[in-house]
Amino acid sequence: MTAPKPLVAGNWKMNGLKEALSEFQAMGKGYGAELQSAVDLMICPPATLLYTMSVSAVGSGITTGGQDCHQNASGAHTGDLSAEMLSDAGASAVIVGHSERRADHGESDGTVKAKAEAGWRAGLIAIVCVGETEAERDQGATLDRIGSQVAGSVPDGARADNTVVAYEPVWAIGTGRTPSAVDVAEVHAHIRKELTDRFGEEGAQMRILYGGSVKPGNAKELMAVENVDGALVGGASLKAADFLGIAAAYG
């Protein structure tokens, strides 16, 4: 059984105006053939930049994705974007269930599952996020919490080519704190078991990303952990040097 090709995906969150496209173009210039053979790169910009970035990405090898979608294809949902709209703007994937969406918008596992299915409907890869809070970790409930989120958020029919799972320890996002390699290995092994028990060979091949204060300085150690198939990167994906520095863990 061959290991899945790693993916390093950048989540720009609510950051980036038009001038930020120069950083994206610099990423494309630094993403040469050798690195392309080793790792897939993706940027998920704010929706205002998605179409322009997707056009700019042509020929660079970098793909683009959305940060969220509505579960319906269309309708009276002011301010929301459907997965079909993201696809129409050039996206190949969509992040669903990010901890900030779960916390700020009260998204349940059921909602995340419906959004993942919407992504599939539009031909997008669903990047399904799971993760525990600091309180849950302190209570020793990490694996139970992660297991329940995987069970409730990843839909039936998930395959290696349409689903990525991203583990984000909520307490490490943007804080500078990072779990040890042992901690990451334990959680990723648990996710892998959940996926293989449910989906068999597809679950064994599904990419599991680590997300939580990933930087060029710690990427090599984290990306070498068993069952870590890449990273979901926040702030460090805004600068070409940092993002390429993380990708270089595979170069």
Give the pLDDT of residue 176: 74
Task: Write the pLDDT tens digit of every residue in 142-194.
Answer: 999 999 999 999 999 999 999 999 999 998 877 777 789 999 999 999 999 99
- Determine the Cα angle at 45 with ends 240 and 99, to 5°: 105
Instruction: Give the domain ranges of the chain.
Output: 81-229
Q: Residue 1 — pLDDT band, cuts 50, 70, 90?
A: low
pLDDT at residue 230 is higher than 70: yes
Cα 114 to chain centroid, rounded: 17
Give the pLDDT of residue 175: 74
Q: Residue 12 — pLDDT band, cuts 50, 70, 90?
A: very high
Compute the radius of gyration of the chain from its Cα atoms. 17
89 and 44 Cβ atoms separated by less than 8 Å? no
Is residue 105 part of the annotated active site? The answer reads: no
- The CATH superfamily holding the domain 81-229 is Aldolase class I (3.20.20.70)
Is residue 226 part of the annotated active site? The answer reads: no
Residue 75: burial class (beta carbons within 10 Å; 0-12, 13-18, 19+): exposed
pLDDT at residue 111 is higher than 90: yes
pTM of the model: 0.97
Percentage of the chain exceeding pLDDT 70: 100
Selecting among 98, 132, 190, 194, the annotated active-site residue is 98
- Average pLDDT value for residue range 77-88: 98
Selecting among 168, 188, 190, 194, the annotated active-site residue is 168
Q: Residue 3 — pLDDT band, cuts 50, 70, 90?
A: confident
User: Whose structure tokens read 């993002």?
Assistant: 243
24 and 60 Cβ atoms separated by less than 8 Å? no
